[in-house]
Structure 1
Amino acid sequence: MPKKSSAAALRCGLCERDVQATSRHHLVPREEGGRHGPIVDLCQPCHSSVHRFLSNRDLARRYPSVEALRGAEELQTYLRWIRRQRVERIVNRRGKK
């Protein structure tokens, strides 16, 4: 469920932009045993892109912390782009891997 704030902007844990809404991202996906594990609040574009570019298995094994996720090679082009944007919503459709 997205968090919204009317008084102050929220900050995305991945791109570190101030945004109007965030949603919880399980750093280790629930399907990989992370149901009660650490979470980070992400803006919608980042949350969609994380799941577009990385499999749940990769998230669990290679990127179990926000620092590791920020350093993911697969996300670097996206992160360079999104940090310059004011966009709040994007549509990513998962392609075949």
Structure 2
Amino acid sequence: MGECAICERAVETTRHHLTPQNRKESPVAPICDPCHRQIHAVFTNHELKHRFNTVADLKESEEMRKFASWIRKTNKSHVRVDETEHVSDWRG
């Protein structure tokens, strides 16, 4: 059990690589499953690598601020998130 770096809940966390596609050298942050899913549903790897490559940058983004505010009010450890059209188009 740890603390999610995004929503700050005391929950089980996974390692989120802050620099995708460079996992060997990437710093990692402890992120809960719902926040981790949301990150990858709303941001492309290119955006994560160039604009949202720190916990502070992720926490300051509108998408994650809204999500973290909502998830903090729940006791959910798993949620279904839908990819945004933006991410879906990028993935092809």
Pick from 12, 16, 33: which aligns with 1:25? 16
Letter in 2 for 1:94: E
User: Which of the two has greater helix per residue?
Assistant: 2
Among 84, 92, 96, the alignment partner of 2:85 is: 96
* Structure 2: stretches of 5+ with no match in the other structure: 87-92
Give 1:55's aligned residue. Answer: 44
Give the distance between the partners of 2:60 and 2:23, measured in 1 at CA: 20
What stretches of structure 1 move > 3 A for 4+ residues in a row? none
Is the Cα contact below 8 Å between 2:42 and 2:84 reproduced in 1?
A: no
Whichever residue aligns with residue 81 of structure 1, its letter is W
TM-score, structure 1 as length reference: 0.79
What SS does the corresponding residue of 1:23 show, helix, strand or coil? strand
Q: 2:66 aligns with which of 63, 71, 77?
A: 77
RMSD over aligned Cα, in angstroms? 1.4
Deviation at 1:95, TM superposition (A): 4.3
Aligned residues with identical type, % of pairs: 31
TM-score, normalised with respect to structure 2: 0.83
Across the two proteins, how many residue pairs are aligned to each other? 86
Question: Match for 1:16: what amino acid?
Answer: E
